[in-house]
Structures are given as structure tokens and as C-alpha cells.
Amino acid sequence: MNADDTFASGRTGHRHASMLERRATIEDVASAAKVSVATVSRALRGLPNVAVSTRQRVMSVATSLNYEPDPAASRLAAGKTKTVTVGVPLISGWYFSTVVASAEAVCNGAGYDFQVICVSGPADRDRLLDDRHHLERRTDGLILVDVEPSAEQAARLRSRRIALTTIGNAVDGHPSVMIDDELVGEMACEHLVELGHRRIAMIGGLHDDPMNFTVPKRRRQGFERTLVRHGLALLPEFVAVGNFGIQGGREAMAELLDLADPPTAVFAMSDDMAFGALMELDRHGLVAGRDISIVGVDDHEFAQVVNLTTIRQPVADHGAVAAQLLISEMEAAAVGATGRPLTGTPTRSQTGESAGTPAVRGQLALVVRSTTGPAPV
């Protein structure tokens, strides 16, 4: 089959260098350990009903043979892939890459292969979730970050035995990790009001929202509600769209500054947008924290560089916790599969969290730096 020797002469001194490495199979281990392949399989996977001495012998033989099970073979035979996939709207960008990084660390630590796929719009989302191609037989679990599957898609995922955990929004019956986004808006508003501001604007939201990104909606609710509680109102012209990017933030700030009567303070729903706002302030010769106050959300790595006041959220934790939740789900499912056929699985449709579907909430903290200050008199 392989014509290794064809080159054995001319290629290099060492034949080994050009030869294909021979990998040990479970049979090699079995015969070397003088047991059956079944025993090797059990021994190596820590299954019960293996004599201690046998297990040890098998393990040492496996090690000395440098044996590693072929993932394709075990996937085919067992039907599990030991792979997790994370779907994000964008791979670069501080928030998402931080989430991906921490999820990767956890998954890899738990022995899972880690795949990433970019889901930048509804089409991508539906392709990922509806087509047979991406998930089917390729992954045991999926982490969706700021991507909301429909109820049907979530249901199908379950019937396809693919575990799901979401970040940024909750899907009924699945674990999720998110922050209290209403509280975010509330905290930002409180801070600004306390400083004496009364003309407070908001940068956030998306121009069109095909992905049904609920985060800005919730932040706005908390923000507006708090404004109202203080006897203030959210003026229509004080609602600018920033699309969660630096440029969007800059443009939004430009619009606000163009107003006949501009705000004295701005709540930017993300640090990125706040950075853009800061740029625009600079262009106008205005000083943040003196002429106009800006609060962001995230505590982006750069927030300290530009001294941005912001609401910190534990982004790295998001990925790590989601990965852990997902892994728990998958291992539970694995047990359930062998034990009893998950007859008892709850098929809840409650609005809140139901038993078995933890909705982890991250801690928030207002970090006051220099971009917010007392309202100008």
C-alpha cells in the first residue's frame, strides 16, 4: 500500500524521518498485555469490572506503546465526539475572544476538542442549527454566545442529542450564563444621576436586529426605568444607535453633539462604543468627565488606558462557566443514556429558570474612572 522504500535510499540518512509513523491500535495493546480488546477498552476508560492488576498492566503497556485511541473509531462506535463547538457572532473583538479563550481553556482541560464557528447573521445561525452538516455527529455540545436559537431549533438540538448552553440570553430548558442587563442600565443611570446629570443620553442598540439581540433592549429598560424613577425622561433624540462598535459609537456621539441641546452625560452600552464616543469628544475639543460624562459597559482591557468609567462584567467567567455547565450537561446525558432512557427529563416551558437549567448570573461592579464627573453648572 505504501511505497515507503521507494525513497528510502535517496531521501535522507534516516529512513525513519521519511517513513510514516506506525500507530498502535487497541489490538496491539491487547496482544501485548495478553488480554482482549474489550478489556483494554474498559481498562483504559476507567470502566468497572477490571481487575486492578489487569488495569495497571494494560495502562502501562498502552503508555509504553504510546497508544492513543483513534477518535474517529470511538466516535463511530460510541456515537460521542468529545468535541464542543462554540458559535459567536464575531471571533475577533474583545468580548467574544475573551469568552472563547476561557471556554477553550475549560474544554481542553476536560479533554474535549474545541471548535469555533462564526455566526454573523441569521443565515449563518440557521445554517448552523438547521443543516445536518455542522453539528450532526460532529459535536456533543454547543455554546451559543449572543445568538438566540428559536424554540424549534433548541428542541431539535435536544432530539439530536446535542447539549446546548447559551451566553447572553436564556433558552428555556438549557443552562445559560448572563448578567442582569437591566441592572446594568440601572447602575449606569444611578451613577450619572448621582453626579447631578439630568440630560442623559444613551448609545446602544443595533440599526436592524435580525439576530434578536436582546442585551441592548434589557439594558435600555433598566436605564429608562431608573431615569423615570428619578423624575427624568429618555428623550427620543437622546437615543443613538452605536451598533456596539467603535465607529458606531463615534457616529452616535457625533449625532448627539449635533443636537441643539446636547446631553451632559451619555450611557454607552459597551466600552467599544464609549471609546468611539471619546474619540468624537476629542475631535470637538471636549473633555470627558468635565464637559460631558461617559459611562461604558464591560471594563474592556482598554478602559483603563483611556480612564473610562464603566460597569464591569466578568467576561472571562462567562466562557468558563458556560463551558462547565455544558460539560456537566453532556456527562449527565452520557450517564442517562446508559442508565435509563431519560424518561424523566423535564420538558418545562416556564418563563424563568427551571430546575436543572441553571441560569448563572455574573457579578457587576461600577468602576469609576475619569470619564464621568459632576454635571456642568
DSSP, residue by residue, 330-347: HHHHHHHHHSS--TT---
Name the residue among 100, 88, 101, 166 with its Cα closest to residue 128: 88
According to DSSP, the β-strands at 239-241 and 141-145 are unpaired
Q: In whole angstroms, how close is the CB of 174 to its own copies at the nearest point?
A: 15
According to DSSP, the β-strands at 113-118 and 83-88 are parallel
As a whole number of angstroms, the distance between CA 25 and CA 68 comes to 8
Helices H, strands E: what count in the chain?
A: 14, 12
Residue 16 binding its own copies, by CB under 8 A: yes
Residue number with CB closer to DNA (77 or 287):
77
User: Which residue type sits at 258?
Assistant: D
Q: In whole angstroms, how close is the CB of 24 to its own copies at the nearest point?
A: 9
Single residue of 19, 31, 32, 37 touching DNA by CB under 7 A: 37
DSSP code at position 233: -
Name the residue among 39, 83, 74, 84 with its Cα closest to residue 58: 39
Residue 208 binding its own copies, by CB under 8 A: no
Give every CB contact of residue 257 below 8 A, 6+ residues apart in sequence.
Answer: 280, 281, 284, 286
Q: In whole angstroms, how close is the CB of 90 to DNA at the nearest point?
A: 33
DSSP lists the bridge partners of residue 21 as none
Q: Specify the stretch interacting with DNA by CB under 7 A; choose among 46-54, 109-117, 118-126, 212-220.
A: 46-54
Judged by CB under 8 A, how many residues of this single chain contact its own copies? 68
Residue 49 binding DNA, by CB under 7 A: yes
Single residue of 36, 56, 64, 108 touching its own copies by CB under 8 A: 108
User: What DSSP element (H or E) covers 85?
Assistant: strand 83-88
Q: In whole angstroms, how close is the CB of 252 to its own copies at the nearest point?
A: 15
List the interface residues with its own copies, window 276-335 (CB under 8 A): 276, 278-279, 301-302, 304-306
Name the residue among 249, 184, 179, 172 with its Cα closest to residue 222: 184
State how far the alpha carbon of 372 is from the alpha carbons of 128, 151, 188, 264, 290, in Å.
Answer: 42, 41, 11, 10, 7
Residue 50 binding DNA, by CB under 7 A: yes
Binding mask 312-341 for DNA (x = CB under 7 A): --------------------------x---
Residue number with CB closer to its own copies (51 or 108):
108
DSSP code at position 295: E
Residue number with CB closer to DNA (69 or 358):
69
Give Rg (Cα) of the chain.
27
Q: Which does 91 bind (CB under 5 to 8 A by kind): DNA, its own copies, none?
A: its own copies
Residue number with CB closer to its own copies (13 or 231):
13
> How far from each other are the two terminal CA atoms of the chain, in whole angstroms?
86
Name the residue among 82, 295, 297 with its Cα closest to residue 197: 295
Residue number with CB closer to its own copies (51 or 304):
304
List the interface residues with DNA, window 209-238 (CB under 7 A): none
Residue 63 binding its own copies, by CB under 8 A: no
Task: At 366, list the grid cell.
Answer: 461600577
Q: In whole angstroms, how close is the CB of 65 to its own copies at the nearest point?
A: 10
Q: In whole angstroms, how close is the CB of 9 to its own copies at the nearest point?
A: 12
Name residue, grid cell 452625560. Answer: 265
Residue 36 binding DNA, by CB under 7 A: yes
User: What DSSP element (H or E) covers 99?
Assistant: helix 94-109
Q: Specify the stretch interacting with its own copies by CB under 8 A; choose among 27-35, 132-140, 192-200, 252-260.
A: 132-140
C-alpha atoms less than 13 angstroms from C-alpha of 114 in its C-beta half-sphere: 16
Residue 101 binding DNA, by CB under 7 A: no
| Contact residues for its own copies, defined by CB under 8 A | 2-3, 6-7, 11-12, 15-21, 23, 66-68, 70-73, 75-76, 81, 90-94, 96-98, 100-101, 104-105, 108, 113-118, 131-133, 136-138, 155-156, 158-161, 246, 275-276, 278-279, 301-302, 304-306, 341, 343, 347
| Contact residues for DNA, defined by CB under 7 A | 1-4, 6-7, 11, 23-27, 34-39, 41-42, 44-45, 48-51, 53-55, 67, 69-70, 73-74, 76-78, 338
